[in-house]
Amino acid sequence: MAGRTLYRKLVDAHTVAALDAEHVLLYADLHIMNEYTSPQAFAGLAAQARRVAASGQNLAVVDHIIPTHAESPRVIRDPASALQARNLRRNCEQHGIPLFDTNDPLQGIEHVIAPEHGMIRPGMVVLCGDSHTTTYGAFGALGFGIGTSEVEHVLATQTLVYRVAGDMRIRVDGALPPGTSAKDLILHIIGRISAQGARGYVVEFAGAAIHSLSMEARMTLCNMAVEAGARGALIAPDAAAIDYVLQRAPDIDAAMAERARVAWQSLHSDADAAFAQELVFDASAVAPYVTWGTSPDQAVPIDACVPRPDELDDPLARAAAQRALDYIGIDAGASLLGLPVQRVFIGSCTNGRIEDLRAVADVVRGRRVAPGVRAMVVPGSGAVRQQAEAEGVAQILTDAGFEWRQPGCSMCLAMNDDVLAPGERCASTTNRNFEGRQGRAGRTHLMSPAMAAAAALAGCITDVRKQEPEPTHA
C-alpha cells in the first residue's frame, strides 16, 4: 500500500462518505463563526426550521467589527455593526453555542482565541468562515475557510461537501538569521512562488527551520499560506506542538494525555508518501521583507530595490506591477529604505500574539515613536492583553508612545473604526496589502512586528538589523 501524506490521513479519517472522484463529505471537529459571515447562515436554518446539529462543536466570536479604543464597557456605535453583534448573540443563545461576546474579558480574534484555550488539537478538522483558518495547521490540524452557504451546511450537519486538494511539501532547511522571523520567511516564500503558487494544494511545511520555530511563529507561517493560494497548511505535530496543547487543555487528564501524545506523534506523512509538488528553501537566505505593492507576493528584502515593471516578460504581470506602484505611490527601481510612514499597526491574527508583542517591546524599549507617526498595538485577545500587562510589555509600549488598544481585528481590514485615511502609508503586521484593505486609498506595507516597531521609531521604513543598541541611562 502506497504511503499517505499527513493531509490525506486527516481527510481519510474525517470522510463520512466519498461522493465522487474529487469530493467527499467531510466531518468537522470544530466550527468557528464570527459576526459577519454567520447571519445569512442562521437565517437559512430558520427558514428551513432546522436546529444546529452539534452546538458543542461550534464556537462564535465577535472580532471583525468591534472597536478597539480604550472604552469600558465597549460599545459598538456603528448601527450596522451593532446589529451584526446582536444577531450573533441572539443566534448563539437560541442554539446553545458558546460566544466570546463584545465585553467578554477573553474576547479577541478567533484564530488567536481558539489555540490559546486548547481548542485546536492535532488531527482535527476545523472550519471557519474566514480564509485565515489555515492558522491551525501549526498544530497538525486541517483548518480552512468556508463560505456562508457552507457555514449553513456545517451548522445543520456538522459536515461539509469538500473537494480534495493536491499535496505540496515545502521544506525549509537551515536556520533563520538574527533579525528575521516567520513573517519574513513566509513573505520570502510567497514572493518566490507567487500569490497563486500553491493554488489547489494543501501545503505541508517541513524541515529543520520549521520545527525550530515557536508555536506562535508556526501559526504566523500557516496563517499566511493562504496568501500563496493554498487551501490549507500543515506542520506535523512534534513535542512542542503537543506540549502547547496539553498545557492549555484542562479537559485532558493525565491518562488521556498519554494516549493523546502517542496518537498525535503518529500524525505525519509516511516516508514513501508522494507529493505532487516539492519545493526547498534555505532559511539562512531570508532577510527582513517588506511589501512594495498591493499583493503579498509583491515583496522584497529590505536591502533590495523595488522591481521595474518594464523588466517583466509577462504583460499581465507588468501591468499589475505598474498599477501597484501607482497605487502605493513609489517609483520603479526605488529603495524602500527611508520611505516615510504616517501609521504603524501591530496586531491581527497573523502577528497579535504575546511573542509578537514581546518582539516589539525588545525593539522600542527606552525609545520613542517618531513625531508625526501614529502607532497602535492591538493584542490578539483578552488573554494576550492581560499577559502583556502582567509582564510589563504593555508599559514598555505605552512609554514609547504606542497606543495600547483593546483586542480585535482592528486595522487589519476596514470593517471597524480603525482605518487609514486616503493616502496614509502604514507599516503593518497584517496579512494583506490589497487596495483599500486598511481604508480607502490607504497604502499598506506588510512586515514583521520588529520591522514595524523600527519603522515607528524612525518614522520611515528601515532595517531593524541596523538599529543602534538600546539606549542606556545614567
Domain boundaries, the chain: 6-163, 166-285, 292-466
pLDDT for residue 37: 83
- Residue 226: half-sphere exposure toward Cβ, Cα within 13 Å: 22
- What does DSSP assign to residue 283? G
Per CATH, the number for 292-466 is 3.30.499.10
C-alpha 294/C-alpha 325 separation (Å) is 8
pTM over 0.75: yes
pLDDT for residue 467: 85
C-alpha 52/C-alpha 93 separation (Å) is 12
User: May I ask the CATH architecture of the domain 166-285?
Assistant: 3-Layer(aba) Sandwich (3.40)
In this prediction, residues 231-236 reach a mean pLDDT of: 98
Smallest CA-to-CA distance from 59 within 137, 160, 148, 155 is with 155
pLDDT exceeds 80 at position 146 = yes
pLDDT exceeds 80 at position 470 = no
C-alpha 111/C-alpha 119 separation (Å) is 11
Q: Are 161 and 19 in contact (CB under 8 A)?
A: yes
92 is an annotated ligand-binding site residue: no
Which neighbouring-strand residues pair with 100?
A: 61
How is residue 416 written as a grid cell?
471597524
pLDDT exceeds 50 at position 474 = no
349 is an annotated ligand-binding site residue: yes
Q: Is 6-163's fold the same as 166-285's?
A: no
Which neighbouring-strand residues pair with 99?
A: 60
Q: At what angle do helices 354-364 and 449-458 cross, to 10 degrees?
A: 30
Tell me the per-residue pLDDT of 392-406, one tens digit each, with 9 for 90 and over: 999 999 999 999 999
The pLDDT mean for the chain works out to 96
Based on C-alpha coordinates, what's the Rg of the chain? 22
Q: Are 426 and 412 in contact (CB under 8 A)?
A: no
Tell me the per-residue pLDDT of 352-394, one tens digit each, with 9 for 90 and over: 999 999 999 999 999 999 999 999 999 999 999 999 999 999 9
C-alpha 78/C-alpha 139 separation (Å) is 37
User: May I ask the CATH architecture of the domain 6-163?
Assistant: 2-Layer Sandwich (3.30)
